[in-house]
A and B are shown apart, each in its own frame.
Chain A
Amino acid sequence: MNALISTALSGVVLMFVGLFARKQHIKFFAIAAIIIAFIANLAQYPSVELGGYTMYGMIEVTKFSIIFNAVAIGSTLLYFLLSGSEFEKVGEHVGDYFALVFFILAGISLAATFSNLLMLFLAIEIMSIPQYILAGSDKKNLKSNEAALKYFLMGCFSTGVLLMGITLIYGSAGTFEIASLGLGAENVSPLALCGTILIAFALAFKVSAVPFHFWTPDVYDGSPTVFTSFMATVVKAGGFIAFVRLFHIGFAGGEISSHWMLLLAVITALTLVLGNFTAVFQQSVKRMLAYSSIAQAGFMMFAVIAMNLAAAQGIVLYAAAYSIATIGIFAVLLRLKDYTFEGFNGLAKKEPVLAFAVTVFLFSLAGIPVTAGFFAKYFVLAAAIQQGHLLWLVILAVLCAAISVYYYFRVIIAMYFKQGEPQVEPVSGGFKAGLIFTVILVLALGLFPNLLLCWL
């Protein structure tokens, strides 16, 4: 609850700061605001440690949601620290961009706490609309405009589908409260089944699962890179937390879960295969990361399908591992002139710290031990194996993880084993310190995942 209020207020404040403060100073206000939001969110933890509470049947605050919000806000803090100065290069309205990021965060914290389908709808919309604007924020650029328009049209369509699904569910259950939908008690009514499927499709669109992913590469590629970095990480994790909450609480148990579980298993399989195979053929690191985000979404889908404790732990850990690593890679990418793989050639010689950090982040994305990504993958796979019946999907995921090594290691090979003169903007000592801190965070979570898990 504190997270929701503090991020929404920060957004409003940042809009006014944008009017008065100088362009270069706005990011310091944003960083201060996000630190306050982070603390405010965690300050609520002691009060819900023994049990959550519900507000007006709309919002349910639990320690799980607080920790998820902490991950989202913490990742955004890292994002501001590493890439905050890049906001100024996008356009004139720097304050607005920061404000929009805060509004997205407000949407995410709502997505982590909703207990009512109406709130779900609000959360998804609050998360989406600022993204449409951010995608098109580079006004003079044709690709940015295309990205915004494409995202907006398809996003609106999926919102319509979501609303339709909610309506059908309401028609069947007679309530919006996700805890008391009771859809799967005996036999599933066709109305409820249709509603579930429509909602699943709409949320699959938001998290860019195959076959609803077509917008992803173009939007991520066309948007200003600094915003792609945010959209592909924290926002995607936010979509997943909504997905997990709704399906684990609202649609769990009984007949209905067997219906959607098969559907989502197929979507997961498609996402894994298509995301990984297409990423292999990319020539630009930015596009590769777009497809990699689809592939990673495939792994996070495991947390939705498998309904157990490991899945809940897995989604939080995965959100943290994936967001931190990808934000780190994008932060380095932003400093490069050339986004192709060749652009990384010889980076290890020129900027050893940057190259080392990117290597650790890529290891984390590939799921190699001692990085956070390993335990993230471990938990989602363990959740699926515990669930039973899903072993085929786990084996498929493992094969895909081996493929993912191919495109992640292409960057490492370029940086360390190829010769070249990469064009890098001069980087400050502060930026390097930030990167090192992020590396330490990734390694710490990889060695001791209980640093995060002990709070759940």
Chain B
Amino acid sequence: MLTVLLILIPFIAGLIAFGLKGSGPKVLAVISSLATVATAIGAWCRLGTAPDSLSFAANWIPQLGSQFRVGLDGMGMMLCLLTAIAFLLVFISIYNRNYDSSNSFYGLMLLSQAGLTGVFTAYDALQFYIFWELALIPVYFLCSLWGGDKRIAVTFKFFVYTFLGSLLMLVGIIYLYTQNPDHSFSWESFTNLHLGADQQNWLFWLFFVAFAIKMPVFPFHTWQPDTYEQSPTPVTMILSGIMVKMGLFGVIRWLVPVLPEGVHMWTDAAIVLSIIGIIYASCIAMVQSDLKRLIAYSSIAHIGLMSAAIFSHTEQGMQGVLLQMFNHGINIIGLWIIVEIIQQRFNIKNMDELGGIAQKAPRMAIFLVIISLANIGLPLTNGFVGEFLMFSGLFQYNHWFMAVAGLGIILAAVYTLNMIQKVMFGNANALTETTTDLQPSEMLALSLVVAIILILGVYPKPILDLVSNTTAVVLKF
């Protein structure tokens, strides 16, 4: 039942938020996300002792054999925890901001949280598809209503892209269902299908395109920088911190176990695309002067590495990906919190016009440096452990792939350090001279991020233990 609660709390809170006024919605959002974090931690404790108690199934459409089936394994638990923490961080960090018609803003945010949690807990393919789409709708409205100048066209492109991808996946799901003698959409029966190689061959692409658009993997990434740039920053945090994980999650939960031979056939193609994405995105990130676009491209590079590591199909690679999914979510949200602060203070995103903030706001500078270093994967930060494991997994598969992908780390250091230098150091100019340091709510959110970065950097075992059963299951296929 705890799993159902994870979906229900934000869903109900979201519906209530629409009807509230003044500061009601944001208080409710913080309360609801605190409750969700508590529920998630409760579920985590249960996972070790009584994992069955986290599953829930109810008849939904008996004619189709589709059930409402939720459950949590290590990966699902980890992502639900990430979702809960991420939304809490977002709500805390924007607590002092006032949005127009804030009731709709918070309502839609909470609904998207419910949708995302639904994706991560679904064990029925049809239900998975429905949540996959539902998570998108609130985000579409959030971006289009509160985004930048070009928001409507950009968000629309984003929507059509992902909608097309998910429709292809729907075709794949229906096909698998028609091949299924059990007349069921359940994950177990799908993984027991063992279709012929010729079918898996093309079915792979129906699913892969859907997931690749969401991640995004080169060449399906073109919606992403624009959307990240134009969305309101809290939504960008959700998009980059959690929504991209839907794609990775989809590959690990559905693609690899259901179509193992298809994956095997196209492994090299998928890894090559991912690696092209790493190098390509890193190169573009180096010449960006727009802060939001820089982080967007760096995110493509990081996701590329994770996707490559999944397809390496090694234990270390998989563990690394699962750990990094969590870490990347935390780190990038930390980065966006700082970007949001900078944008609020100065109302510009161009790095060349900034500089010297460190003198006026040393705390902000310290936070940015720590989070950026974690984003590069410096030892003792959480990013290091994940990246190390992923590279070692990729190395076991093919060392040439690893060598090329490794260039991404060097490039990441180049653009990240460059970014820190331009934004924080150097001489203050007329614009940055008058700035003040962080406000309490921002301090709180960033301290939480940095605490997670350092703790997991030194002691990643809790997350690694949590996801190890998923790795074991996936590698069996």
Contact = CB atoms under 8 A, between A and B. Distances in A.
A417 B152 contact: yes
A160 to B, nearest CB: 40
B27 interface: no
Given A381-B171, A402-B167, A453-B63, A416 B141 contact: yes
Given A398-B171, A454-B63, 18 more contacts: A369-B130, A369-B134, A370-B130, A385-B171, A385-B174, A385-B175, A391-B175, A395-B168, A401-B167, A402-B163, A402-B167, A405-B160, A406-B156, A409-B156, A413-B152, A416-B141, A448-B60, A450-B61
A449 interface: yes
Nearest to B133: A369
Interface string B131-147: 00110010001001100
A448 B167 CA distance: 20
A191 interface: no
Given A402-B160, A405-B160, A369 B129 contact: yes
B2 to A, nearest CB: 23
Contacts of A453: 61, 63
Contacts of B144: 413, 416-417
Given A368-B137, A413-B156, A450-B63, A399 B164 contact: yes
A363 B129 CA distance: 16
Nearest to B137: A368
Contacts of A402: 160, 163-164, 167
Nearest to B177: A382
Contacts of A391: 171, 175
A394 B133 CA distance: 19
A309 to B, nearest CB: 9
A413 B156 CA distance: 9
A172 interface: no
Contact of B170 (A370, A398, A454): A398
Interface of A: 313, 363, 368-370, 374, 378, 381-382, 385-386, 391, 394-395, 398-399, 401-402, 405-406, 409, 413, 416-417, 448-450, 453-454
B469 interface: no
B62 interface: yes
A1 to B, nearest CB: 27
Nearest to A368: B133
B222 interface: no
B159 interface: yes
B291 to A, nearest CB: 25
9 contacts: A368-B133, A369-B134, A370-B134, A378-B170, A385-B171, A405-B163, A409-B156, A413-B156, A450-B63
Contacts of B164: 398-399, 402
A386 B130 CA distance: 21
Interface in B142-184: 144-145, 151-152, 156, 159-160, 163-164, 167-168, 170-171, 174-175, 177-178
Contacts of B133: 368-369
Interface in B171-205: 171, 174-175, 177-178
Interface in B53-86: 60-63
A409 B159 contact: yes
Contacts of B178: 382, 385-386
Nearest to B61: A450
A413 B141 CA distance: 9
A416 B145 contact: yes
Contacts of A406: 156, 160
Interface centre among B62, B133, B171 (most CB of A within 10 A): B171
Contacts of A381: 170-171, 174
A386 B84 CA distance: 40
A402 B160 CA distance: 6
Q: Is the interface of B mostly helix, strand, loop or mixed?
A: helix
Contacts of B163: 368, 402, 405
B198 to A, nearest CB: 13
A415 to B, nearest CB: 11
Contacts of A369: 129-130, 133-134
Contacts of A409: 156, 159
The 4 closest A-B pairs by CB, nearest first: A402-B164, A369-B130, A398-B167, A369-B133
Contacts of A370: 130, 134
Contacts of B134: 369-370
A413 B394 CA distance: 44
Contacts of B130: 369-370, 374
Contacts of B174: 378, 381-382, 385
A390 to B, nearest CB: 11
A407 to B, nearest CB: 11
A416 B137 CA distance: 14
A198 to B, nearest CB: 33
A416 B167 CA distance: 25
Nearest to B132: A369
Most chain A CB within 10 A, of B144, B159, B160, B167, is at: B167
A32 to B, nearest CB: 34
Contacts of B175: 385, 391
A78 B243 CA distance: 39
A376 to B, nearest CB: 13
A399 B177 CA distance: 21
Nearest to A366: B163
A395 B300 CA distance: 28
Contacts of A395: 168, 171
Contacts of A382: 174, 177-178
Nearest to B169: A398
Nearest to A446: B130
Given A416-B141, A416-B144, A449 B61 contact: yes
A102 B28 CA distance: 52
B402 to A, nearest CB: 36
B356 to A, nearest CB: 38
Q: Most A CB atoms within 10 A — which of B63, B137, B145? A: B63
A108 to B, nearest CB: 25
Contacts of B152: 413, 417
A453 B145 CA distance: 38
A265 to B, nearest CB: 16
A417 B63 contact: no
A402 B164 CA distance: 5
Interface string B95-129: 00000000000000000000000000000000001
B184 to A, nearest CB: 14
B217 to A, nearest CB: 19
A382 B61 CA distance: 15
Contact of B171 (A368, A386, A394, A417): A394
B171 to A, nearest CB: 6
Given A398-B167, A416-B141, A448 B61 contact: yes
Contacts of A449: 61, 63
B262 to A, nearest CB: 16
A399 B133 CA distance: 16
Given A368-B137, A405-B163, A398 B168 contact: yes
Contacts of A454: 63
A413 B151 CA distance: 11
A398 B130 CA distance: 16
A360 to B, nearest CB: 11
A50 B306 CA distance: 57
A374 B133 CA distance: 11
Interface string B6-25: 00000000000000000000
A68 B465 CA distance: 55
Nearest to A400: B167
A409 B171 CA distance: 23
B254 to A, nearest CB: 17
A382 B178 CA distance: 8
A450 B170 contact: no
A362 to B, nearest CB: 12
A313 B61 CA distance: 13
